[in-house]
Amino acid sequence: MNEILIAVLVVGAIGLVVAVVLSFASVFFAVPVDERVEKLTEALPGANCGACGYSGCSGYAQALSKGEAKPGACPVGGEAVAAELAAILGVEAQSQARTTARVMCSGSCDNTGKRINYKGITSCSAANQILGGGGKCSYGCIGLGDCVSECEYGAIKVCNGVAMVNESLCRSCKKCVLACPKGLIEIVPVRSAAVLCSNHDKGVQTKDLCSIGCIGCMKCQKVCEHGAIKVDNFKASVDPQRCTLCGKCAEVCPKGVIKAAAPQ
Partner 1 sequence: MVKQLVAVFLAAILTENYVLSKFLGICPFLGVSKKVNTALGMSAAVTFVMVLSTAVTYPIYENILVPFGLEYLQTIVFILVIAGLVQLVEIILKKYMPPLYNSLGIYLPLITTNCAVLGVTMLVLEKAAADPSYTYVTALVNSFGAGIGFLVAMVVFAGVRGRLETADIPNSLKGLPITLVSASLVSVSFLGFAGLVEGMMG
Interface ranges with partner 1 (CB under 8 A):
3, 6-7, 10-11, 14-15, 18-19, 21-22, 25-26, 29-31
Residue 181: closest CA among 140, 121, 224: 140
Please say which residue, 7 or 80, places its beta carbon nearer to partner 1.
Answer: 7
CB 66 to partner 1: min, Å: 14
Please say which residue, 25 or 109, places its beta carbon nearer to partner 1.
Answer: 25
Helices (H), the chain: 2-28, 35-43, 56-65, 78-89, 124-129, 146-150, 175-179, 203-209, 219-223, 248-252
CB 191 to partner 1: min, Å: 42
Please say which residue, 27 or 204, places its beta carbon nearer to partner 1.
Answer: 27
CB 121 to partner 1: min, Å: 21
Q: Is the dihedral of CA 21, 24, 28, 31 positive or negative?
A: positive
What is the rounded distance in angstroms from the CA atom of residue 189 to the CA atom of residue 18? Answer: 59
CB 24 to partner 1: min, Å: 10
CB 2 to partner 1: min, Å: 11
Residue 257: closest CA among 166, 195, 186, 165: 195
CB 140 to partner 1: min, Å: 37
Please say which residue, 38 or 232, places its beta carbon nearer to partner 1.
Answer: 38
DSSP string over 82-117:
HHHHHHHHTSPPPP---EEEEE-----TTTB-BSS-
Please say which residue, 41 or 192, places its beta carbon nearer to partner 1.
Answer: 41
Please say which residue, 29 or 119, places its beta carbon nearer to partner 1.
Answer: 29
Q: What is the DSSP letter of 134?
A: S
Please say which residue, 21 or 116, places its beta carbon nearer to partner 1.
Answer: 21
What is the rounded distance in angstroms from the CA atom of residue 127 to the CA atom of residue 131? Answer: 8
Q: Which residues of 80-109 are buried (b: 16+ CB within 10 A; e: fewer)?
A: ebbbbbbebbeeebeebebbbbbbbbbbbe
CB 17 to partner 1: min, Å: 9
